[in-house]
Amino acid sequence: MHMRQVTLAVALMAAFGSTHAANPAACDPQSAMTYPVTAKVGQIDNYHGTQIADPYRWLEDANSAETKQWVDAQNTVTQAYLGQIPQREAIRQRLTKLWNYERYSVPSKEGGRYFYSRNDGLQNQSVLYTMKSLNDTPRVLLDPNTLAADGTVALAGVEVSPDGKLMAYGTAASGSDWNEWKVRDIETGKDLDDHLKWVKFSQTAWTKDGKGFFYSRYDEPEESSKLAGVNYFQKLYFHKIGTPQSADVLVYDRPDEKEWGFRAQTTDDGKYLLITATKGTAHKYRVFIKDLSKPDSKVVPLVDNFDAAYDFIDNVGSTFYFTTDRKAPRQRIVAIDVNKADEKNWKEIIAESKDTLANAHIIGDRLVVEYLKDAKSVVRVNDLKGKLVREIALPGIGSVSGFTGKRGDSETFFSFTGFTTPTTIYRLDMKSGKTSVFRQPKVDFDPNAYETRQQFFTSRDGTKVPMFIVSKKGLKLDGNNPTYLYGYGGFNISMTPGFSPANLAWMEMGGVYVVANLRGGGEYGESWHQAGTKLQKQNVFDDFIGAAEWLVANKVTSPSKLAIGGGSNGGLLVGAAMTQRPDLFGAAIPMVGVMDMLRFHKFTIGWAWTSDYGSADNPDEFKALVKYSPLHNLKAGTQYPATMVTTADHDDRVVPAHSFKFAATAQAAQAGCNPVIIRIDTKAGHGAGKPTAKQIEEVADRWGFLSKALKM
């Protein structure tokens, strides 16, 4: 079908309500959903001799009038469906009340000043503050809520100069990954003229004298392709304060390596620039250094092969400390002398242990090391030779982050959070090891009414996998509990306990919240991650299905009361699970998911995910991908769970075409009465920086949808 016919079909649907119902024969006609007709085109692709149809290819053009008409038509159906759910408004009001609590970030210190962000509760974006001492009255340094009336411009990064006088900050509009960077005078609160564009996936690193900083950017894209065009050839620049971006100095690029990306760090002593080269999303890096004390020094390799992760902690003179999974899947700490960088000269400071090393920092001449023990945080303090000094007592099952600071600091701050513990900020005295509460929020609920337990289950191939089950105390195991099973399972990312007003509202409604720690994540190190990638990606779906089967077998819930959810790679997870086992779930919510596993690498940064997924360009990987690709495994005439697909018009990470094509295909395939709707947010992206108001609306729609689907 030509585009003119596509336009005609959409126009007919809009004008005359031309529709198709989901198999009305199997349905009470009163409850049959009616969807917009999605026109088909005769697109067929040849993958290594296999012909694959792609009838909704036209929906990949997010800018076309036809796609915009389709989005409007789908949103009309979705809002009408959600609008008649009686519980939705009460859920929204309760969410608004729960969300209305003070939230703080972990403070950092630079040039004798403290910096942290705070949200008074319902502010769309958190506000950045500074103070000269812990007893000082905080002063607003930057309020992102003033940058856009609807709160859709978010702070995307902040880096303060070593003297505490200037602050480079990035902003993101409507959730886009594209950032613009500006520079603010901290004393006056006024912006300088500096303005950098086309920055994406970048860190910034100041020189010791505060005269400029290093950052990464791409060439300016064409306007029409900026939200979907492929991102290759990142370059590392130096920006001198007070000069235009056109005068920025190219420090490092690799015209011979289009997939390489660059992260810049400068050492606290100001002597070295560290450049970490990445290739896709694999945690395998090369590390280069440049001696900043010599103006004409070259960028030279320190670790020159993509064989493992190397995350820089700090340096003491020419000795550089790194966490690495080189010869240690659960990570260890090594010291490398930059003058004798050969691996045979490396010194092991802290050996690999049975717990997964997640992060390390040098503060007060001590190594503060964060571990995951079965996906729960443990913190140990060691001396610089690796000897254990103490373990930091934590208040329960939860996750820590923070520990910002420098080698000479006598204090640091960290956050602790759990499923029923709102994120609390602690101060740690490095000399005594004592912790004290710095900021603790008050949320309108009783944490003692809930319990968190960890359960191990056996996956299809015999692997033991953990999950957290959180609910009100005294849960009746009668199979009737509405349950929301959440997972991710990819990119070495660990799913650890964390507080969320959204999940609290679900449990108040009588729901059980479950997080499964699937293979593909980082909970048990690199071997756990690799066991859920490429040709072994099916393990991730088997683990998730195994979690669901355990919950049903042990009468926590039953298929008609079980919903699954996940975002991004977790959206792929939900799409694969619901197409492989439609009988096992009562509802599914795939959010901003990667649904077309044959074409994901053709948009924005999608090519970078081939390190986890593989690529349809490779014959063996194509065979694995096509077996689980959610879009390609929807079968006409199947009864799928009640499904709400969610995406956003400015998602330039996982482009909305994934969700558009999946929803159109699922609507056409669905048998029985279960709805298949798509919720398309406007002026929103992949999730980062989403305004509080938009978050509340989205969660109200999610729990409202599930309250109807699971007959709560």
Q: Give the catalytic positions in this structure.
A: 568, 686
- What are the φ/ψ torsions at residue 609 (nearest 5 degrees)? -85, -5
The token pair at 667 is 């609507």
Instruction: Give CA–CA dist 712/710, Å, rounded.
Output: 6
Strand ranges for 65-142 from DSSP E: 103-104, 108-110, 113-119, 127-131, 139-142
For 16-59, give the DSSP string: H--EEES-GGGS-TTT--EEE-------EEEETTEEEE-TTGGG
Q: Is-contact 111 132, C-beta < 8 A?
A: no
Q: Is-contact 341 303, C-beta < 8 A?
A: yes
Instruction: Give CA–CA dist 387/300, Å, rounded.
Output: 32
Q: Which of 237, 307, 311 is nearest to 279 (CA)?
A: 307
Query: DSSP 3-state helix, strand, coil percentages of the chain (rounded to 5)?
Result: 25, 35, 40
Residue 389 is which amino acid? V
- Cross-strand partners of 562: 483
Instruction: Give CA–CA dist 234/241, Å, rounded.
Output: 22
Q: Which helix (H) or strand (E) holds 263?
A: strand 260-266
* Residue 674 three-state SS: coil
Q: Is-contact 426 415, C-beta < 8 A?
A: yes
Q: Which helix (H) or strand (E) holds 14?
A: helix 3-16
Q: Which of 158, 113, 101 is nearest to 139 (CA)?
A: 113
Mark 335-360 as b/e (b = at least 16 C-beta within 10 Å). bbebeebeeeebeebbebeebbbbbb
Q: Is-contact 213 243, C-beta < 8 A?
A: no
The angle formed by the CA atoms of residues 601, 285 and 357, to the nearest 5 degrees, is 110
Query: What are the angstrom distances between the C-alpha of 383 and each of 349, 363, 437?
Result: 9, 10, 25
